[in-house]
Structure 1
Amino acid sequence: MPTLADTSPSPLLTIDGIDVHYGAVQALYGVSLVVHAGEVVSVLGGNASGKSTTLKSVLGLVTPTRGRIVLDGREIQGRAPADVIDLGVASVPEGRRVFPEMSVHENLLLGAYPRRKEKAAIAEDLNEVFTAFPRLAERRRQAAGTLSGGEQQMLALGRAWLRRGRLICIDEPSMGLSPIFVDAVYEVLFRWKAAGQTILLVEQNARIALELADNAYVLQHGHVVLQGTAAELIANPAVQKAYLGAS
């Protein structure tokens, strides 16, 4: 008789025991995590905890010195970022990284470039982005570099949505934003979750990240020190004290 493990679906993404070095400095030590299709997984931790390095490893921006990264059954560690994107991964990088001299509309179309032949679907997705972010609709012909930080974050999210990737990797979406923009960004992320979008989220704002997530991992000095469902971590006294402001 097959066991539950035999019949459960394989993860969309598996990070299996990766080490990452920057020269002589080791940033990750045997980090492992899994992301199933349709779920949101948050990676939490303070500065220099290794959470952004974990995301960069998935995106091909750094190469692990040990371990494997498997996307839908295919090993991707060490692949070029363009190859990872071609396999269906979209990215919302830390710091937004929009193209400042291009218009809002042009930045969004760059996200859709891998599916550029799907003109009708792209037009529909553009309307969806402009509905979700009315500020972008008002500024669609404006140079992206003239937008506020919050508006640029909206643009980065919209660009990733236009990619229609199987997995969206998001790095610190609340960093440097006012509470109003944080609420606007996470309102859209909650919509994506409800629509079944798979998300790997790196975030310092643990409270809102755990509200969004299904499962979460806590990194400290390059090690996974806690993992579990979001509900389990919210109830964990150590997490409450370190990340949720409990005394």
Structure 2
Amino acid sequence: MVEQNSSSISPFLVVDDVDVHYGAVQALFGVSLQVGRGEVVSVLGGNASGKSTTLKTVLGLVSPSRGRVVLEGREIQGLSSPEVIDLGVASVPEGRRVFPEMSVYENLLMGAYPRRQEKDAIRSDLAEVFDTFPRLAERRRQAAGTLSGGEQQMLALGRAWLRRGKLICIDEPSMGLSPKFVDMVYEVLFRWKAAGQTILLVEQNARIALELADRAYVLQHGHVVLTGAAADLSADPMVQKAYLGAA
């Protein structure tokens, strides 16, 4: 059943009572969530909780065995990932997944490919990305595979921004990064939030994710076990004990 959103934010993305199976193994059990237009929503949980599967379901990388995924009023479950991307969704995947043999500049242009006719706007957006990430500007002709993990995460974020997606889906942006790079990544995400970007964020680092998010969902073993305003979840004893390191 679709969750009732008590806020005034209009639903942009709805995941409605979704089951997902990998063969005989069930990964999601009746998962429902909503993302309002201009809202940042975080999906939290430990390993094998189902949070990345939820994101992959939205992106068309896996198909639900039951339930619906609705984007701007259109059911998109069953569409391929390229078809979902064509509807205005951008992705920052887990592990960055840059094109290693291509240059930084070429990787960024791949993000802009769906809007390749907008040449002036793309030039402006490239300048914005290089201003945001000076390291990428310095390494624009360098092969992406030779960048550090933190630099590749910057590139993945820049590539998603070049897509100018209505919705940006981000999977584990802090994974494997030093605290310095985590701070740099989230500084950019806070800027995107301030600009009104709609974001669905999957993250194990619950503390920083809850600082960024408007609302959050907590998954365990493929089930939504908690949902609410991020500030309320930050104060929840269960969340504090399980995810925030409280005694």
Range class of TM-score, shorter chain: over 0.9
Shift of 1:9: 5.3
Q: Where do 4+ consecutive residues of structure 1 move more than 4 Å? A: 5-9
Unaligned runs of 5+ in 2: none
Offset from partner CA, 1:154-188 (integer Å, 9 cap, x none): 00000000000000000000000000000000000
Shift of 1:78: 1.2
- Superposed counterparts of 1:36-185, under 5 Å: 36-185=36-185
- Superposed counterparts of 1:164-243, under 5 Å: 164-243=164-243
The residue that corresponds to 1:16 in the other structure is 16
Letter in 2 for 1:235: A
Letter in 2 for 1:90: A
2:239 match: secondary structure: helix
TM (normalized to structure 2)?
0.97
1:111 match: secondary structure: helix
Query: d(CA) in 1 for partners of 2:141 and 2:111?
Result: 16
Shift of 1:10: 3.4
- Residues 1:214 and 1:9: Cα distance change in structure 2 (over 3 Å): closer
Shift of 1:6: 11
Shift of 1:95: 0.4
Shift of 1:61: 0.3
Letter in 2 for 1:214: D
Offset from partner CA, 1:203-234 (integer Å, 9 cap, x none): 00000000000000000000000000001100
- Residues 1:229 and 1:6: Cα distance change in structure 2 (over 3 Å): closer
Shift of 1:94: 0.3
Shift of 1:149: 0.4
Letter in 1 for 2:232: E
2:105 match: secondary structure: helix
TM (normalized to structure 1)?
0.97
Query: d(CA) in 2 for partners of 1:20 and 1:41?
Result: 21
Query: d(CA) in 1 for partners of 2:6 and 2:100?
Result: 49
- Superposed counterparts of 1:1-12, under 5 Å: 8=8, 10-12=10-12
Query: d(CA) in 1 for partners of 2:244 and 2:108?
Result: 35
Letter in 2 for 1:73: G
Unaligned runs of 5+ in 1: none
1:47 match: secondary structure: coil
Aligned length: 244
